[in-house]
Structure 1
Amino acid sequence: MASIAHHLSPLLLFTILLHTSINGSPTKPPTTPCPSFDCGNGLIISYPFWLKGKQNNDEYCGYPGFDLLCTDQQPLIRLSNHLYRLKNINYSENTLTATYLELNNGACPIAPHDVRLNLNISYFLNYTIEDKMVHFFYNCTLYPPSLSSIACLQHGLKRSYVFMEGAIPEFDWQRFCDSTVSAVVVEKGGDGGVLGGGFGRVLQDGFKLGWRSPDSDCRACEATGGFCGYRYSDGLHRNFICICSDGRRSDNCHDNGVVEQTVVEASASLFYA
């Protein structure tokens, strides 16, 4: 027994020291570097989205522009200086569903502003093939008499209209209408879903956006089980960093757990030999 202990102790010591050099502590178990969260409405949100204000000041875990806010138990995402309510996230399809934050629950809501994507994130967060663009023209004082208007938005002689992209009648809408708004919706059931009086439901259902990894470094990181993070070295320039499941920061996680597992298996084989 003394002989076994004599030969085993240095191996165990080597294993512990190697484990410590990789993970920083021999007793601390690996933790999830990018934990999921819930704003309070039951929607579980996880990577590549991250909660603004909860990460380190100089580093966050997730894609640029995918930072969310929790307000009144609702997750909010910012797109081109406007906040939208995040309704759903489909991680298997890499899509999210968002809707106007300002909409009321009535059958006759008003789209308050255009839906636009941030230019700095539009190359990896973009519309899906299910999205359709619709155009609203509000409170028009002059209009073609043969067109059907939105009945619930009629105010005296003023009329409001909505048209699908590519189907806007020729008219000087900008001149004779108080405001115009271009909104994105997921059209269900053909044009009648919007033009047939169901525009309120369609607006409340929201629109879809799909995402992809922002760059080749991020794709390589994710392919090895890592999480893409970014660190601001001087507050202006963003540097990519791959955050591995054991908390290490590296270019990728190719060797994540391989060395440690090999050493442990070797020690076990010597012990039982």
Structure 2
Amino acid sequence: MHPTLLLLLLVTCLLLLHLRGRVSADCEPATCGNLTLRYPFWLGSGNQTLSPCGHPAFEVWCNDDGGSVASLKGSSIHVLGVDYANNSFVCSHTRIASGDDGVCSTDFNMSVSIALSPFTISPRNRALCFLSKCDGSAPSGPGFVNATSNCSAPIYAYLGGTYYWDRPPAIATGRCEYSYIPVLGREAAAMTAANYRRLLKDGFLMEWEAAGVGDCAACNASGGQCQYNNTVAAFRCLCPDESPSSHADFKLCC
């Protein structure tokens, strides 16, 4: 090979390696406490670290108190762990996950307290029910436990079957009002309603559709970095020879 062509090839390779390093730096996984965040999750404006890498709905803030608590966009939804292989994450809601106060504050609909799109509350959860305002009567039968604790009025807990956000569990409520909350199915399998504090603390499972965030695995395998193009509201694969400001449509790298 001609020395000039060889030198040109070497310079090109070094430039691509430099660009690949720059892309990796732009989109490198981040940590919040013990949690590793990578596409489609990303550390957002709560940390003054605007990233081009993540889907807007997956923006995570890490609190300033030691940087150990991750929440979706600084909301009341805390992210406890992410299973990237199965497009799911375990989370908890601040209002119901902290001790006795959580039990006393379960009179709200979990599904409407979460911005669900593009997330869904997994049917792999079970339904933990709380009955209150029982008009002087207490629910009877197996499975009901007194969960009043420090609450101002009697509350009873019942662990039901599969959680459906639009279908309340069919239980004998008597004259009580009741709400139901998702809890991890894998935990509930070995527990009863008497373990309601632990079930609340351990959170519940949320899922997202892979189609909504693009084929990140194929992008990584081709040597690219997964990003989300806010201009066209679609996933894109950033290749080493591209500028992060490029608005190219999705493609795999060579």
Fold conserved (TM > 0.5)? yes
The alignment-based identity, stated in percent, is: 21
Residue equivalent to 2:126: 132
Q: Deviations over 1:32-81 (max 9, x none)?
A: 14211122x2222222211111554xx73123411111113211125xx9
For residue 87 of structure 1, the aligned residue among 70, 77, 80 is 80
Check the 8 A contact 1:62/1:227 in 2, yes or no. no
Inter-partner Cα distance in structure 1 for 2:139 and 2:96: 29
Q: Deviations over 1:183-236 (max 9, x none)?
A: 1101457678242x1101011011122334234x822x5413244433344xxx
Q: How does 1:76-115 map to 2 (within 5 A)?
A: 76-77=71-72, 82-103=75-96, 106=99, 109-110=102-103, 112=106, 113-115=108-110
Inter-partner Cα distance in structure 2 for 1:208 and 1:95: 7
Q: How does 1:181-200 map to 2 (within 5 A)?
A: 181-188=179-186, 193-195=191-193, 197-200=194-197
Q: Give the 3 Å change call, closer, same or farther, for CA 17–149 of structure 1 in structure 2.
A: closer
Q: Give the 3 Å change call, closer, same or farther, for CA 191–37 of structure 1 in structure 2.
A: closer
Check the 8 A contact 1:89/1:96 in 2, yes or no. yes
What letter corresponds to residue 157 of structure 2 in structure 1? V
Query: TM-score scaled by structure 1?
Result: 0.65
What letter corresponds to residue 211 of structure 1 in structure 2? W
Residue equivalent to 1:223: 218
Q: How does 1:113-262 map to 2 (within 5 A)?
A: 113-116=108-111, 117-122=114-119, 125-129=120-124, 131-144=125-138, 146=140, 148-153=144-149, 158-163=153-158, 164=160, 166-174=169-177, 180-188=178-186, 193-195=191-193, 197-215=194-212, 218-219=214-215, 222-225=217-220, 226-233=224-231, 238-244=233-239, 248=243, 249=246, 250-256=248-254
Inter-partner Cα distance in structure 1 for 2:12 and 2:59: 38
1:119 shift after superposition: 4.1
Structure 1 moving runs of 4+ over 6 Å: none
1:8 shift after superposition: 0.5
State the SS of the aligned residue for 1:133.
Answer: strand
Between structure 1 and structure 2, the one with the greater Rg is 1
What letter corresponds to residue 67 of structure 1 in structure 2? E
Q: Deviations over 1:146-183 (max 9, x none)?
A: 35452443767x32122325342143434xxxxx4331
Check the 8 A contact 1:52/1:67 in 2, yes or no. yes
Q: Give the 3 Å change call, closer, same or farther, for CA 181–246 of structure 1 in structure 2.
A: farther
Inter-partner Cα distance in structure 2 for 1:210 and 1:127: 6
1:135 shift after superposition: 2.5
Aligned length: 227
What letter corresponds to residue 242 of structure 1 in structure 2? C
User: RMSD value over aligned CA atoms?
Assistant: 3.6
Residue equivalent to 2:21: 30
Q: Give the 3 Å change call, closer, same or farther, for CA 89–188 of structure 1 in structure 2.
A: closer
Check the 8 A contact 2:135/2:175 in 1, yes or no. no
